[in-house]
């Protein structure tokens, strides 16, 4: 599955690059620096390729004065060097300057396909990729040395890395919670990230597998939703011949049922992977063993996962609403129409809104982590009597490592410092009969 998704994303990126080059050629767009921004970045790239950010002022500087280029007191580009640094290897290898932007544009399409496919399903990922590549401005920027495509690529990479990182940290948070229950260890960022650091490689691999499983789960849920939505379309076709009231009621009921079925299908599958990071860091299991453990442990938790997801979503947007009130008041004072039917909001409002949105997600992220950690402990308490094991671990020293034994003698929290099992010395053989009878 992982190989298939990687191949699809790579294939989408390569096809996008070929399509962008083909359309630029067919539309007679120039494959050389043409705009002022484009030329300024290329000048900066050539300077950076020689290890310089600027050059000495030309004796006839006034004759070279132009837009987006400084001529006094030094000759340099007026832009920050980030975009030029990104494309400088093109100068080193002697490649045409349009090759870098078109590769970046193709990578953007591939990442959009992958991210949307993981969040929803493959069909939605394909639609998102087509939506972006059909944008005129995106196709125009695909062969120009501009900073917009580079910023978009880096933003998508940050989103992908953030999704993986949140899954990785989940295991460390659960281990910290169990250590707090056992030894009253303080719950802190340092303790959580120290636990993550000890198993980072395995957690990264496990997070990738969990992400792909979520992609599969969302695909199955989308198929269930589309089937029921097709039923709604048939109901509309039949109901219009009978009564519009029957059509309205049938469509409303079918929509609610379709959403409910899609949620149940998604969480029924996705919930099976909910405890992979926890099993790795609390029980000391390998990636494969942790996946098997999560499947066996996460049975019957669909309602609790749905409830926790809805609560987290509600809490996140409640915090957003509270934080957005001051910004909305300032916008109202300055006469900005921030309604859904208003025009384009000013830049300062858009930036403030996005900052507040991300802050609300950051503030509420620990609730999601703590919720999954408590669900893991609750599942073990219900199925395995984990509370008794925790009470025993608080009173007794850690059990020795017994070869081939996992439960019930496994420690409540694997620390890697358990004493090795030492077999007792052999006793002398008893003589006589087996029962010791004379």
Predicted confidence (pLDDT) per residue in 162-200, tens digit: 666 776 776 777 777 777 766 677 777 777 777 777 777
Q: Within a 10 A sphere around the Cβ of 354, how many other Cβ atoms?
A: 10
Q: How confident is the model at residue 226, as a pLDDT?
A: 80
274 and 333, same domain (yes or no): yes
* Best-predicted range by mean pLDDT (34-38, 244-248, 299-303): 34-38
pLDDT band (50, 70, 90) for residue 410 = low
124 and 188, same domain (yes or no): no
195 and 343, same domain (yes or no): yes
171 and 100, same domain (yes or no): no
119 and 206, same domain (yes or no): no
CB-neighbour burial class of residue 297 (10 A; exposed 0-12, middle 13-18, buried 19+)? buried
**% of the chain at pLDDT higher than 70:** 79
Please state, in angstroms and rounded to a whole number, the distance separating the CA atoms of residues 78 and 304.
55
Q: How confident is the model at residue 340, as a pLDDT?
A: 61
Q: Please indicate, yes or no, if residue 30 is contained in any of the structural domains.
A: yes
Residue 89 confidence (pLDDT) above 80: yes
Whole-model pTM? 0.54
Please state, in angstroms and rounded to a whole number, the distance separating the CA atoms of residues 53 and 49.
9
82 and 180, same domain (yes or no): no
pLDDT band (50, 70, 90) for residue 341 = low
CA-closest candidate to residue 138, choices 107, 95, 96, 115: 107
Q: How confident is the model at residue 1, as a pLDDT?
A: 47
84 and 64, same domain (yes or no): yes
177 and 238, same domain (yes or no): yes
Q: How confident is the model at residue 98, as a pLDDT?
A: 85
* Enclosing domain of residue 72: 2-156
Please state, in angstroms and rounded to a whole number, the distance separating the CA atoms of residues 85 and 244.
62
Helix, strand, coil percent values for the chain (each to nearest 5): 70, 5, 25
- In the predicted model, what is the mean pLDDT of residues 333-338? 76
Residue 56 confidence (pLDDT) above 70: yes
Structure tokens at 146: 């501009």
Last residue of a domain, one of 115, 133, 156: 156
Please state, in angstroms and rounded to a whole number, the distance separating the CA atoms of residues 378 and 297.
10
Q: How confident is the model at residue 163, as a pLDDT?
A: 66
25 and 171, same domain (yes or no): no
pLDDT band (50, 70, 90) for residue 421 = very low
Residue 288 confidence (pLDDT) above 70: yes
Q: How confident is the model at residue 419, as a pLDDT?
A: 46
CB 220 within 8 A of CB 265: yes
Q: How confident is the model at residue 2, as a pLDDT?
A: 47
Number of separate domains in the chain: 2
CB 418 within 8 A of CB 399: yes
- In the predicted model, what is the mean pLDDT of residues 365-387? 76
- In the predicted model, what is the mean pLDDT of residues 241-269? 77
Q: How confident is the model at residue 405, as a pLDDT?
A: 56
Half-sphere exposure of 73 (CA within 13 A, CB side): 0
Q: How confident is the model at residue 409, as a pLDDT?
A: 46
266 and 334, same domain (yes or no): yes
Last residue of a domain, one of 111, 127, 156: 156
Taking only the tens place, the pLDDT of each residue in 118-147 is 666 677 778 888 888 888 888 888 888 888
Q: Sign of dihedral through CA atoms 136, 140, 146, 150?
A: positive
Please state, in angstroms and rounded to a whole number, the distance separating the CA atoms of residues 360 and 337.
23
258 and 196, same domain (yes or no): yes
Q: Please indicate, yes or no, if residue 400 is contained in any of the structural domains.
A: no
Q: How confident is the model at residue 36, as a pLDDT?
A: 79
123 and 56, same domain (yes or no): yes
Last residue of a domain, one of 90, 124, 156: 156
**% of the chain at pLDDT higher than 90:** 0
- In the predicted model, what is the mean pLDDT of residues 427-435? 55
Q: How confident is the model at residue 416, as a pLDDT?
A: 55
Beta-strand relationship, 55-56 and 74-77: antiparallel
């Amino acid at each position: 599955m992982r190989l298939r998704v990687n191949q699809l994303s790579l294939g989408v990126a390569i096809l996008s690059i070929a399509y962008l080059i083909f359309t630029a050629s067919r539309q007679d767009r120039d494959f050389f620096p043409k705009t002022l921004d484009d030329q300024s970045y290329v000048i900066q790239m050539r300077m950076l390729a020689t290890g310089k950010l600027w050059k000495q002022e030309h004796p006839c500087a006034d004759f070279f004065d132009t837009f987006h280029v400084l001529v006094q007191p030094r000759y340099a580009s007026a832009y920050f060097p980030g975009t030029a640094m990104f494309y400088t290897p093109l100068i080193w290898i002697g490649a045409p300057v349009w090759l870098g932007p078109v590769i970046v544009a193709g990578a953007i399409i591939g990442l959009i396909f992958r991210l949307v496919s993981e969040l929803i399903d493959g069909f939605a990922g394909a639609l998102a990729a087509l939506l972006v590549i059909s944008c005129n401005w995106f196709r125009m920027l695909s062969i120009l040395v501009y900073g917009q495509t580079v910023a978009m690529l880096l933003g998508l990479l940050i989103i992908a890395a953030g999704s993986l990182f949140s899954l990785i940290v989940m295991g460390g948070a659960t281990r910290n919670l169990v250590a707090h229950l056992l030894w009253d260890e303080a719950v802190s960022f340092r303790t959580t990230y120290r636990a993550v650091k000890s198993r980072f490689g395995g957690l990264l691999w496990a997070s990738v597998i969990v992400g792909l499983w979520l992609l599969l789960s969302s695909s199955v849920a989308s198929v269930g939703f589309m089937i029921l939505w097709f039923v709604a379309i048939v109901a509309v076709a039949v109901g219009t011949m009978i009564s519009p009231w029957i059509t309205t009621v049938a469509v409303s009921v079918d929509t609610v049922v379709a959403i409910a079925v899609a949620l149940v299908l998604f969480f029924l599958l996705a919930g099976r992977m909910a405890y992979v990071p926890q099993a790795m860091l609390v029980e000391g299991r390998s990636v494969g063993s942790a996946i098997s453990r999560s499947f066996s442990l996460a049975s019957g938790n669909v309602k609790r996962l749905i409830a926790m997801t809805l609560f987290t979503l509600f809490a996140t947007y409640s915090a957003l609403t509270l934080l957005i009130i001051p910004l909305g008041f300032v916008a109202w004072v300055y006469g900005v129409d921030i309604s859904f039917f208003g025009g384009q909001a000013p830049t300062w409002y858009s930036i403030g809104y996005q900052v507040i949105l991300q802050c609300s997600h950051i503030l509420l992220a620990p609730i999601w982590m703590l919720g999954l950690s408590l669900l893991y402990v609750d599942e073990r308490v219900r199925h395995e009597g984990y509370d008794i094991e925790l009470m025993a671990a608080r009173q007794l020293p850690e059990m020795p490592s017994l070869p081939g034994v996992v439960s019930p003698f496994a420690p409540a929290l694997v620390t890697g410092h358990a004493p090795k099992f030492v077999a007792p010395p052999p006793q002398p053989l008893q003589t006589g009969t087996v029962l010791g009878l004379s």
